[in-house]
Chain A
Amino acid sequence: MAINSLFDITTKSLSVYQKALSVTSNNISNANNPNYVRQRVILGPEKPDYYSSLTIGKGVKLEYIQRLKNQALDNQIVRYNSLQSQAQKQSTIISQTESLLSEPSDLGISNLLNGFLNSFEELSVNPTSVPLRTSVVQNAQKLSVKARSVYEGLETQKLDIGKEAVDIVNNINNYLTQISTLNKQIYEASILGNQANDLLDNRDKALEELSKLTDVTVITDENNVANVSIGGVYAVGRLNKIELKAVQENGKLIIKTSDNAATISLQSGELAAMQKAYNVNIKSYQKQLDDVLRNVFEQVNELHSKGYTTTKPPETNVNFFSNYENGYLEINKDILNDVNKIAVSLDGTDGNNEIAKSLAALKTKKLSNGLTISDSYSNLVSSIAYEKVLQDQNAESFDLVVSQLQEQKSNYSGVSLDEEMTDVLKFQRSYEASAKLINIADEMLQTLLNMV
């Protein structure tokens, strides 16, 4: 064995620890990068020299740089991210719906409906009183305006969701393009036997973001290519990629491939939440509100049309509401122009209050569904409230799961500065020792030269 081999071993060693230090410093630099997966240098012995029965080591070599990642954990994060985002988005949407109702307050439909029917109760005391008749009209107007604003608010919410869905689908398409590009680059590196750790970090980040938006399944092949499907439909791999689009058809929000080849059924993610809100929740709330208001329209008109006005001569068959459509209780214009057209007399005499009392009794009258009008409205408010509570709880519980998974991921893949600084010291000392060896080898060579 020549002295030169000492130079070889120490030179390699210097180079290995320099590289090890650069990996460590990369870790330290990314300590606060949430998408970064820590890397670790794996050192191994160089192939030794064999001399008859002796085996002499040839120093250290850098085997590879390990990316400390737990794929099962990542898959779980993707799944629960999707569920958490869906619950969170649904909660946000319902929160907007909830605010439209202004309940429980004086400005809600519940109070305004009671106010309207109570004004008939007050009118029954003095059916000819013009101020009390005016009060009936004013209360009816307040109810009509609020009911219309809630119904239209729900309609506007649907339109906004439709527009936002288009933006989200554009985001999804962007992520699919990004993943497709990264897949190609990762594949090329893998074929050349290289580890594309940073590209993998970037793709993981894109997948995590994508999973918040939609229902994603990821299968990674032996070349680290991620094959992604959305709602069971293949979305992106190495060679192919699809594009999605959001369309509003027949009152429904539908997600399709841009070539219309497939309709995508989503189970989780923000887009699924929006689809559910658009196609199911808001529609159901509108239907319930519509039923309540239609009952007000029909029940009030049925009784009112049997009554007589206080005009001269008294008129009958006068509807209180001239029309009802899409949340709009339209008050009879004749009544708005002349409050004497309010018909609360059963026999045509102006002091008769039988119809007024019957109208006021609508507060407690049970309809064909066994509920009062107020009960039906209360059910609508409750169903919105319970859905909000459910989605808040879901969001909180999924958030807890995601946090714990992220914690585990962070514990496994995150950078610990203590560890890294220990590694820095370790590698620095090894580097210094290697440098010292060169001095020793130099001195040995010098000794030999002096002997010549």
Chain B
Amino acid sequence: MIRVSDRNIQSTYLNILAKSKSDLATIQKQLVSQSKINKPSDAPLGTSRVMRMSGQIESFNVFEKNIDSGLAYIDNSSSALEGIKDEIQKVLKDLTDANNATVSDNLPQYSDKIKASLNSILDLANTSFDGQFLFGGSDNSTTPVGFNSTGQLVEFKSNRIDADHKIKISNYTEQKININSKEVFASVLKNTGNLDSTSAIGNTQTVTSSIYNSEGTEYSFVVTYTKTAANNYTMNYSILDPSNAVVTSGSNALTYNNITGALQSIDGNLPNDIKISDETNKINLVFDTQSLMEKNSPATVNSNLSQKADIFNVLKSISDTLNTGKIPEKEHIQLVSDFEKHLINKISELGSYRNRLTDTQDLNKSQSVTLQELVSKEKDVDVAQLAIELQEKQYSLDLTYKISSTLLPKSLLDYL
């Protein structure tokens, strides 16, 4: 038979009491904080999960904000392009009216109308939203387009009219949200393909392409790539008028990356488009050689012209022609119609960007809700269950007090 001392009864009672109180305190703390995890040691694995999932939820919140900003950006861009489309349709109507004008003296009035449309289109092309030029690429400090110093030719002013504005909309997805001036407005001659990295120094590669001035007149663009050292070339270009006279020319030094073969620099600077303007011949061309690579294979250089002329100078020259009392040529007017089609394509492209954003937004929301549910499972308390447990523990504690009050002081002494 085990001998039981009085001190033993007391310490056993105190141990049970302490355990009951500790359990009660834990439940009370969870109920008050509404959280099962108040410190990492409450659930080490749960804490890691909660921290990781909270980080992901926070990322989804940021993606949500990014998508909202992106949608606003796209909506503003769409509005501006729709505005330009309206102006272009107005111009086409005016040109039809001008073509039917009975008295040539009225033509300068049409010239003024078209000039007004041009100014509206210029304003819309220079629209800014939240401090950013919608069509300015990545250059927010310079107005994208404007007249040159003589006021006779519209030029692209931005440093990077070709830049895409991409934002992150989910963990692994980036989405372009802008249409830049190069895509929508400019006449871009693009060289693609490759130069031969194994060719000897002094070797040349010449490509001739057709370009057009703002009246639709065809010119020749001749570019020659001459290898000057390993991965280095001199690029000489010249524009020849229909009589093969050189109207403008230029030269640039190209350096290619010896590993990737991508263009590394133009004249020592980061690769960029080369803007070529000739006021006399009404030429405003963007020459893009950034996609031309250097490879260990025979040289193949292809040329592609995005649109014959930029809409601003086309409208300017149409207005000038009307002002002189002449009706523009059909080819000249066709340039405006071509631009309208191009513009509609770009507007629908923006629509597809918008759809991608909203689709991703829905997906993000559903993933975020799932994560929140998981965090809740890890962290949040079941109030009803805890309330019952609390009641049980409280009852057990009361019982311990009650029993102790009757049993603790008892000994033979009480009966003597």
Say yes or no for B159: interface residue by CB 8 A criterion.
yes
Check if B168 sits within 8 Å of A121, measured CB to CB.
Answer: yes
Separation of A129 and B69 alpha carbons in the complex (Å): 12
Check if B163 sits within 8 Å of A349, measured CB to CB.
Answer: yes
Kindly list chain B residues whose C-beta atoms are within 8 Å of the C-beta of A411: 2-5, 8
Check if B138 sits within 8 Å of A349, measured CB to CB.
Answer: yes
Q: Which interface residue of A384, A403, A413, A416 has the most chain B CB atoms within 10 A?
A: A416
Say yes or no for A125: interface residue by CB 8 A criterion.
yes
CB distance from B413 to the nearest CB of A (A): 6
CB distance from B94 to the nearest CB of A (A): 35
**A299-334 interface mask toward B, CB cutoff 8 Å, 1 = contact, 0 = none?**
000000000000010000000000000000000000
Check if A104 sits within 8 Å of B4, measured CB to CB.
Answer: no
Separation of A407 and B416 alpha carbons in the complex (Å): 28
Check if B41 sits within 8 Å of A114, measured CB to CB.
Answer: no
**B393-409 interface mask toward A, CB cutoff 8 Å, 1 = contact, 0 = none?**
00000000000000000
Say yes or no for A350: interface residue by CB 8 A criterion.
yes
Which B residues, 22 to 58, have Cβ-Cβ distances below 8 Å to chain A? 37, 39-41, 44-45, 47-48, 50-52, 54-55, 58
Check if B7 sits within 8 Å of A388, measured CB to CB.
Answer: no
Check if B44 sits within 8 Å of A389, measured CB to CB.
Answer: yes
Contacts A128-B132, A378-B52, A418-B411 known; A350 to B41 CB distance under 8 Å?
A: no
Smallest CB gap from A108: residue in B: B51
Say yes or no for B11: interface residue by CB 8 A criterion.
yes
Check if A418 sits within 8 Å of B412, measured CB to CB.
Answer: yes
Which B residues, 147 to 162, have Cβ-Cβ distances below 8 Å to chain A? 159-160
Kindly list chain B residues whose C-beta atoms are within 8 Å of the C-beta of A111: 51, 54-55, 58
Separation of A363 and B52 alpha carbons in the complex (Å): 11
CB distance from A18 to the nearest CB of B (A): 20
Smallest CB gap from B8: residue in A: A410
Check if B138 sits within 8 Å of A347, measured CB to CB.
Answer: yes
Say yes or no for A26: interface residue by CB 8 A criterion.
no
Check if A353 sits within 8 Å of B5, measured CB to CB.
Answer: no
Check if A421 sits within 8 Å of B416, measured CB to CB.
Answer: yes
Say yes or no for B65: interface residue by CB 8 A criterion.
yes
Say yes or no for B66: interface residue by CB 8 A criterion.
yes
Say yes or no for A374: interface residue by CB 8 A criterion.
yes
Contacts A352-B163, A353-B167 known; A98 to B40 CB distance under 8 Å?
A: yes
Which B residues, 5 to 19, have Cβ-Cβ distances below 8 Å to chain A? 5-8, 10-12, 15
Say yes or no for B70: interface residue by CB 8 A criterion.
yes
Check if B6 sits within 8 Å of A31, measured CB to CB.
Answer: yes
CB distance from A336 to the nearest CB of B (A): 22
Which A residues, 213 to 250, have Cβ-Cβ distances below 8 Å to chain B? none
Separation of A384 and B44 alpha carbons in the complex (Å): 9
Separation of A125 and B73 alpha carbons in the complex (Å): 10
Partner of A417, one of B66, B73, B141, B413: B413
Say yes or no for A275: interface residue by CB 8 A criterion.
no
Check if B66 sits within 8 Å of A125, measured CB to CB.
Answer: yes
Contacts A104-B40, A129-B130, A421-B416 known; A407 to B70 CB distance under 8 Å?
A: no
Kindly list chain A residues whose C-beta atoms are within 8 Å of the C-beta of B136: 351
Kindly list chain B residues whose C-beta atoms are within 8 Å of the C-beta of A386: 41, 44
Say yes or no for A155: interface residue by CB 8 A criterion.
no
Check if A350 sits within 8 Å of B416, measured CB to CB.
Answer: no
Partner of A104, one of B54, B163, B167: B54
Separation of A310 and B144 alpha carbons in the complex (Å): 18
Separation of A413 and B11 alpha carbons in the complex (Å): 14
Say yes or no for A62: interface residue by CB 8 A criterion.
no
Separation of A392 and B40 alpha carbons in the complex (Å): 13
Check if B47 sits within 8 Å of A385, measured CB to CB.
Answer: yes
Check if B39 sits within 8 Å of A99, measured CB to CB.
Answer: yes
CB distance from B307 to the nearest CB of A (A): 24
Q: Which interface residue of B7, B15, B132, B411 has the most chain A CB atoms within 10 A?
A: B7
CB distance from B266 to the nearest CB of A (A): 12
Say yes or no for A415: interface residue by CB 8 A criterion.
yes
**A412-426 interface mask toward B, CB cutoff 8 Å, 1 = contact, 0 = none?**
111111100110000
Check if A98 sits within 8 Å of B7, measured CB to CB.
Answer: no
CB distance from B306 to the nearest CB of A (A): 21
Separation of A14 and B136 alpha carbons in the complex (Å): 117
Separation of A55 and B167 alpha carbons in the complex (Å): 115
Check if B416 sits within 8 Å of A32, measured CB to CB.
Answer: no
Say yes or no for A101: interface residue by CB 8 A criterion.
yes
Check if B132 sits within 8 Å of A382, measured CB to CB.
Answer: no
CB distance from B82 to the nearest CB of A (A): 23
CB distance from A84 to the nearest CB of B (A): 14
CB distance from B141 to the nearest CB of A (A): 5
Say yes or no for B323: interface residue by CB 8 A criterion.
no
Separation of A137 and B133 alpha carbons in the complex (Å): 25
Separation of A149 and B416 alpha carbons in the complex (Å): 66
Check if A382 sits within 8 Å of B48, measured CB to CB.
Answer: yes
Say yes or no for A406: interface residue by CB 8 A criterion.
yes
Which B residues, 376 to 394, have Cβ-Cβ distances below 8 Å to chain A? 379
Check if A357 sits within 8 Å of B37, measured CB to CB.
Answer: no
Check if B40 sits within 8 Å of A410, measured CB to CB.
Answer: no
Separation of A140 and B15 alpha carbons in the complex (Å): 49
Say yes or no for B174: interface residue by CB 8 A criterion.
yes
CB distance from A169 to the nearest CB of B (A): 29
Say yes or no for B270: interface residue by CB 8 A criterion.
yes
Contacts A98-B39, A364-B171 known; A351 to B6 CB distance under 8 Å?
A: no
Check if A347 sits within 8 Å of B54, measured CB to CB.
Answer: no
Check if A421 sits within 8 Å of B167, measured CB to CB.
Answer: no
Say yes or no for B137: interface residue by CB 8 A criterion.
yes
Smallest CB gap from B46: residue in A: A104
Smallest CB gap from B53: residue in A: A104
Kindly list chain A residues whose C-beta atoms are within 8 Å of the C-beta of B5: 38, 410-411, 413-416
Kindly list chain B residues whose C-beta atoms are within 8 Å of the C-beta of A122: 62, 65-66
Say yes or no for B192: interface residue by CB 8 A criterion.
no
Smallest CB gap from B68: residue in A: A125
Kindly list chain A residues whose C-beta atoms are within 8 Å of the C-beta of B10: 32
Kindly list chain A residues whose C-beta atoms are within 8 Å of the C-beta of B45: 382
Separation of A121 and B63 alpha carbons in the complex (Å): 8
Separation of A101 and B42 alpha carbons in the complex (Å): 14
Say yes or no for A162: interface residue by CB 8 A criterion.
no
Kindly list chain A residues whose C-beta atoms are within 8 Å of the C-beta of B6: 31-32, 414-417
Sort A-B residue pairs by CB-CB distance and give the 5 closest, nearest first: A414-B5, A385-B40, A385-B44, A388-B41, A351-B138
- Which positions in A face B, CB cutoff 8 Å? 31-32, 34, 38, 94-95, 98-99, 101, 103-104, 108, 110-111, 114-115, 118, 121-122, 124-129, 312, 345, 347-353, 357, 360, 363-364, 374, 378, 381-382, 384-386, 388-389, 392, 403, 406-407, 410-418, 421-422
21 CB-based A-B contacts, threshold 8 Å:
A32-B6, A34-B7, A104-B37, A104-B379, A108-B51, A110-B55, A121-B168, A122-B66, A124-B167, A125-B70, A348-B270, A349-B140, A349-B163, A350-B138, A350-B139, A351-B138, A353-B138, A381-B48, A411-B3, A411-B8, A416-B4
- Which positions in B face A, CB cutoff 8 Å? 2-8, 10-12, 15, 37, 39-41, 44-45, 47-48, 50-52, 54-55, 58-59, 61-63, 65-66, 69-70, 73, 130-133, 136-141, 159-160, 163, 165-168, 171, 174, 270, 379, 411-413, 416
Known: A34-B7, A122-B65, A357-B167. 13 other contacts (CB 8 A): A94-B41, A104-B40, A104-B50, A121-B59, A127-B140, A347-B138, A347-B163, A350-B140, A353-B138, A382-B40, A386-B41, A417-B412, A418-B411
